[in-house]
Amino acid sequence: MKKKIIFIIGGARSGKSSFAVALANKISKNVSFIATCNPQDREMKERVLNHKKIRPAKWKTIEEYYNLSLALEKITSAKSVIIDCLTLWVSNLMMKKYKEKNIMEEANKIMESAKKINSSVIIVSTEVGSGIVPTNKIAREFRDIMGRVHQTIAKKSDEVYLMTAGIPVKIKNK
């Protein structure tokens, strides 16, 4: 299979991560998983454990909360890579006081690195712009930045899937 950049986007609990795992396994059994969640409380730690259960134990897991382009460039042998997920990554950057301009620069670096490496890259993210307009400034800023990041990633990806109720709908195929 020719290497590709695949973007999977959908709502919370839409089946994005399970679909990404299945897709990565289809591409190759040699998979690296880049986890962006830095769990801060018990409930989030449980979510991370549940996510780990759906991944084969032999996969290499890389925990990277900020510099995803560098994490990608360090991957040398995997034929398939999953980044899960961009929404947590942007949240991490915003908590470190990154401005939108810097976040967009980092998103572009991710795509440059994904094109350089000899692996298919599957990028997972949660759609946050389909709901109501948030009432507080930081939530609106997050939603707006995520929308712009998603546009950048989708535009530069070979394939884009929208997950709805566990069903992948291919919305872009280069």
DSSP letters, 134-173, are: PSSHHHHHHHHHHHHHHHHHHHH-SEEEEEETTEEEEEEE
Identify whether 51 is a catalytic site residue.
yes
CATH number at residue 45: 3.40.50.300
Q: Given this model, what pLDDT does residue 48 score?
A: 78
Can you tell me the mean pLDDT for 130-150? 93
pLDDT over 90 (residue 2): no
Catalytic position from the list 25, 48, 51, 100:
51
Q: Is residue 62 part of a domain?
A: yes
Q: Domain residues for 135?
A: 7-173
Provide the 8-state DSSP code for 82: E
Q: Given this model, what pLDDT does residue 1 score?
A: 65
What are the backbone angles phi and psi of residue 152, rounded to the nearest 5°?
A: -65, -45
pLDDT digits (tens, 9 = 90+) for 80-108: 999 999 999 999 999 999 999 999 999 99
Q: What is the pTM of this model?
A: 0.94
Q: Is residue 36 part of a domain?
A: yes
- Please check whether residue 31 is in contact with residue 24, taking contact to mean a CB–CB distance below 8 angstroms: yes
Number of domains present in the structure of the chain: 1
Q: Is residue 2 part of a domain?
A: no
Q: Is residue 1 part of a domain?
A: no
CA neighbours within 13 Å on the CB side: how many for 116?
A: 14
Q: Given this model, what pLDDT does residue 116 score?
A: 95
